[in-house]
Structure formats: structure tokens, C-alpha cells
Amino acid sequence: MSEDTISGTNGSQKQFEDDSAFAANPAESSRRAFLQIGVGGAVAGILTSAGAELLNPSPADAQSDLSPDQALKKLLDGNARFVTGKMTAYRQDLKVLKEKTLEKQEPFAAVLACADSRVPVEFVFDQTIGHVFVTRVAGNIATAEIIGSLEYGAAVLGTKVILVMGHRSCGAVKAAIQGAVVPGQISSLFPHIQEAVDKSGPDVEATAKSNALIQAALLRESSTVISDMVKQGKVKVVAGYYDLATGTVTILE
């Protein structure tokens, strides 16, 4: 999200049994509430109502044979091509779209990125249609809906690595630091970023990096689907940082 877009406070919150604890730390309570309200139910619905066939998808193309480390390397190799201007994915796009992706998708990686228009994920990693399962939300935050989507990507589509990618000059991070009043539901983003603000604010870039690390840890800890797959070595969850000026993605862990 562009840094001149938003600034403010507030956010939706869930009633906890311990009202005094809730009042003492509303940002943390709201963040935890999002995860408790719908991740389990929403994902259970995705994985069960769609039928057993979703849990046993047909074998994917070559990218499904990658290990989590190989999948991460494939992303970073693509980013190196992007930085040097030697991109290759665009040559494949039209052919892949017509011949391979009409009936199915077989992404090897998932990326949780900011909604900022300056962060075009497929371009940044030089990947073509069907290779990256992308979720985007201002501030690259792990809400219940985002976690459910990434669980679907890992459990059903077979993604091998999940990269939570913060970026330079993130407006959502800057707004959370500033804490001014904003219109509508924009402020619902801020409780999710508050932990990073408390840790690294008021430095915007340091807070953006802390936020990416925190959201990645949240994915590993709050999702039983993803945490189990991480323990089994089936999925790797990492945090990264995209520099708008250089185009380089740096792994923070």
C-alpha cells in the first residue's frame, strides 16, 4: 500500500473471557481474535466440503517435485533475473495460459505480499502463470482469511514454500506507526501490525521487516495445517523484504 494512502488507529475486536486482559492490550487481543474466529472452521470447510479428491490432487508438473529449499531457491533465482533485467517468464505466459492452466493450477510456491501496486509478485520473481499462489493484503498480514487461503495452497495445491514478503516504504506500516484517525475500515489493519510497531517503531523499514517476521511466525504457530506440514518437512515458511529501489528480495530468516 502506498505510503501516502493511510494513517490511523482502531480495529475490529472480539470479546474475550478476560475483559481486563482485553482492555489492557486491545491490539493483541484483536489479532488473536481474527485467528480464533474462522481459521479452523473456514479451512475445514475448504478441505472437507470440496470432497476427498481435493486432499489427493492429481500429480502436478515438475515443480511439485521440488523440496521446500529448492522451491525457495527457484523464487530467488527468478528475483535475480528480475533485478538484472534478464526475465524469461513472459515468453511462456501465453502458451502456458492456453495449454496448461485452463483446468488446473500447480503452483510450487505461495507468497503473502502487500497490496501495494509497486509489488507485482510474479514480476518480482520472474514466474509465469500458474507457478505462484499469491495472497495480497495491505501490510502483508496473516488474517484468518489469508491463513485459510495459504492452507489451501499448501494442503491442496502442493506449494512447497510460503514467503511472507514485506517491502520498503509500506504505507500500512507507516500508518500503523502514526496512529491517526482514518475513514472506514482502514484501521482494521493496524492491530495486526501493532506488535511490529511496538518492537521496531518508529523506523518504518525496521518495522516492515519485523512485521514480515511476525506474520511468518504466526503462520507457523497458528495454523495446524501449516505447522504440521512444516514439522514433516513438506513446507517451509520464511519472511522476506522487497526493496523497491533495487528490486532485490532478501530473506530475513
DSSP for 221-242 reads HH-HHHHHHHHTTS-EEEEEEE
Residues 65/229, Cβ–Cβ less than 8 Å: no
Q: What is the dihedral of CA 116, 3, 191, 151, to 10 degrees?
A: 10
Residue ranges of domains in the chain, CATH in brackets: 19-251 (3.40.1050.10)
Read off the C-alpha cell for 14. Answer: 472480539
How many Cβ atoms sit within 10 Å of the Cβ of residue 233?
10
User: In the Cβ-directed half-sphere of 176, how many Cα atoms lie within 13 Å?
Assistant: 32
| 217/253 Cα distance (integer angstroms) | 11
The three-point CA angle 46-99-62 to 5° equals 70
Nearest to 220 by CA among 37, 42, 33, 35: 35
| 66/131 Cα distance (integer angstroms) | 12
Residues 196/173, Cβ–Cβ less than 8 Å: yes
Region class of 236: left (phi > 0), else alpha (psi between -120 and 50), else beta: beta
SS3 state at 218: helix
Nearest to 8 by CA among 210, 155, 188, 195: 188
Q: Running DSSP on this structure, what letter comes out for residue 156?
A: I
How many Cβ atoms sit within 10 Å of the Cβ of residue 217?
16
Read off the C-alpha cell for 157. Answer: 495445491
Tell me how many helices (H) and strands (E) the chain has.
Answer: 12, 5
| Structural element, H or E, at residue 95 | helix 93-99
Q: Running DSSP on this structure, what letter comes out for residue 63?
A: G
| 234/205 Cα distance (integer angstroms) | 31
pLDDT in tens, the chain (253 residues): 544 444 433 333 333 333 333 334 444 444 544 454 444 444 444 444 444 434 444 434 445 689 999 999 999 999 999 999 999 988 876 776 767 777 888 899 999 999 999 999 999 999 988 899 999 999 999 999 999 999 999 999 999 999 999 999 999 999 999 999 999 999 999 999 999 999 999 999 999 999 999 999 999 999 999 999 999 999 999 999 999 999 999 999 7
- pTM metric for this prediction: 0.77
